[in-house]
Amino acid sequence: MTSIESHKKAKALKPGSVRPAKELCSECGLCDTYYIHYVKEACAFITQRIDELETSTHNRPRNLEDENELYFGVHQEMMSARKQQPIEGAQWTGIVSSIAIEMLNRGLVEGVVCVQNTKEDRFQPMPIIARTPEEILAAKVNKPTLSPNLSVLEQIEQSGMKRLLVIGVGCQIQALRAVEKKLGLEKLYVLGTPCVDNVTRAGLQKFLETTSRSPETVVSYEFMQDFRVHFKHEDGSEETVPFFGLKTNVLKDIFAPSCMSCFDYVNSLADIVVGYMGAPYPWQWIVVRNDTGKEMLELIKDQLDTKPVISEGNRKPAVQQGIKAYDDAVTLPMFAAKLLGLVIDRIGPKGLEYARFSIDSHFARNYLYVKRNHGEKLAAHVPEFAKRIVAQYKLPE
Ligand code: FAD
Ligand code: SF4
Ligand code: SF4
């Protein structure tokens, strides 16, 4: 008689029921499967294990004395990049989809965990295991909402797949790394994106309605390196709104509590990370963390233009002012916001310094959030690298 692994006896939670992390749950999907059995050690909001998992994943810890590693995690190299022939309708130029397609076409993996949208709603996430390039392409562009990507984990075991690529954001990847050895795979590849300020579907609606001139026609948006939100509309037009003109007082509460408590902005446990914030607009930013990530990048190198990362400006005064302004929920009149946006764009931080600006601002805000709302978790929940980053600033009580 073969014995069933203990996790297979666990019961997945029903949709809508309270998750073990309660209000801090980011709906990563783990608890929709029998892998809920491991939730105590896997959930990013119950047991924060970034330091330990970084060492087991990348074979060494983050070097906290090196400013780039302190901020961007363990890595071998970083670069600015863009596809020579962008994928139409991708979030940026489609580097993420291209790596996934190439891995499938070359037989490196049998499936790719990614997230499409439902037929009814372009922003409602629908995680799948893609087995064709068409299915990967149908998952292009961000679904800027909490997405239960790990809800497909049981299907992996049932399908008998041995080689898999998972695309996901930090909280999903921490839970994935914690159960990696239980999945029965020969090889797992992880392609991450940075992630911050995520929202529920209802929160997204509120954001679109308060910020865009035409919420119903928005197909994608991004908080760009030029200090503006760029909305793309169905008719191909682009709308920009300066960060400093956002209705902070209205929007303050839309971010999910998980995302107000998250310190894995740069997806520390992925093999390779593809974002934008460390590259000058309109380039993408690639962080290769380990040999597996290098192997993945090599597959599409000939499809890319690349250039070295840059770092310009001084973020610190702007971060310090921003901490207070956010806390006081300041909203500038739109004309002043536009002017300020222009000035900051011209003299403000660029490249890696912009990425540090964004990390500092979000970590300071999130540190205050955890301190004020979950004070008992503060010491264990905030990783050492984030504590060091936040300690550079004077925070309000
Ligand atoms: P594409 O080829 O268009 O592929 C996008 C991939 O993202 C798809 O494979 C899809 O499966 C996956 N995906 C879509 N929505 C989700 C989701 N909700 N959860 C998990 N996976 C998803 N980069 C930064 O540099 N700074 C940021 O602050 C930042 N915030 C982000 C916030 C969110 C919620 C997300 C999903 C991404 C964020 N990114 C951020 C990453 C960035 O927006 C792009 O996704 C990345 O640069 C890849 O672009 P691309 O054109 O190569 O992707
Ligand atoms: Fe479960 Fe994921 Fe929610 Fe944690 S974040 S409680 S692991 S679904
Ligand atoms: Fe998960 Fe953090 Fe992104 Fe929220 S901000 S979805 S917690 S990675």
List, for residues 93-114, the tens digit of each pLDDT value.
999 999 999 999 999 999 999 9
Name every protein residue with a CB atom under 6 angstroms from any ligand 2 atom: 19-21, 25-28, 30-31, 39, 42-43, 45, 175
Q: Which of 288-302, 322-336, 338-352 has the highest mean pLDDT?
A: 288-302
pLDDT for 346 beyond 80 = no
| Strand-pair partners of 113 | 129, 166
Mean pLDDT in residue range 83-88: 98
Tokens of 370: 């955890």
| Strand-pair partners of 118 | none
pLDDT for 314 beyond 70 = yes
Mean pLDDT in residue range 327-350: 75
Mean pLDDT in residue range 230-247: 92
Mean pLDDT of the chain: 94
3-state secondary structure the chain: CCCCCHHHHCCCCCCCCCCCCHHHCCCCCHHHCHHHHHHHHHCCCCCCCHHHHHHHHHCCCCCCCCHHHHHHCCCCEEEEEEECCCCCCCCCCCHHHHHHHHHHHCCCCCEEEEEEECCCCCCCEEEEEECCHHHHHCCCCCCCCCCCHHHHHHHHHHHCCCEEEEEECHHHHHHHHHHHHHCCCCEEEEEECCCCCCECHHHHHHHHHHHCCCHHHEEEEEECCCCEEEEEECCCCEEEEEHHHCCHHHHCCCECCCHHHCCCCCCCCCCEEEECCCCCCCCEEEEECCHHHHHHHHCCHHHEEEECCCEECCCHHHHHHHHHHHHCCCCCCHHHHHHHHHHHHHHCCEEHHHHHHHHHHHHHHHHHHHHHHCHHHHHHHCCHHHHHHHCCCCCCC
Mean pLDDT in residue range 327-345: 72
Nearest alpha carbon to residue 191 among 92, 83, 72, 274: 274
Mean pLDDT in residue range 167-194: 97
Q: Give distance in angstroms: CA of 298 to centre of ligand 2.
A: 33
pLDDT for 339 beyond 80 = no
The residues, ordered by sequence, that sit 6+ positions from 134 with a Cβ below 8 Å of its Cβ are none
Q: Which amino acid is located at 156 in the chain?
A: I
- What is the structure's pLDDT at 74? 98
Mean pLDDT in residue range 24-40: 98
Ligand nearest to the CA of 18: 2
Mean pLDDT in residue range 306-320: 94
386 within ligand 1 shell (Cβ under 6 A): no
Q: Give distance in angstroms: CA of 88 to centre of ligand 2.
A: 33
- What is the structure's pLDDT at 3? 66
**242-277 residue pLDDT tens:** 888 888 788 878 999 999 999 999 999 999 999 999
Residue bearing the CA closest to ligand 1, atom 30 = 195
State the Cα angle at 301 between 224 and 84, rounded to 5°. Answer: 55
pLDDT for 347 beyond 90 = no
Residue bearing the CA closest to ligand 2, atom 3 = 25
Confidence of residue 170 (pLDDT cuts 50, 70, 90): very high
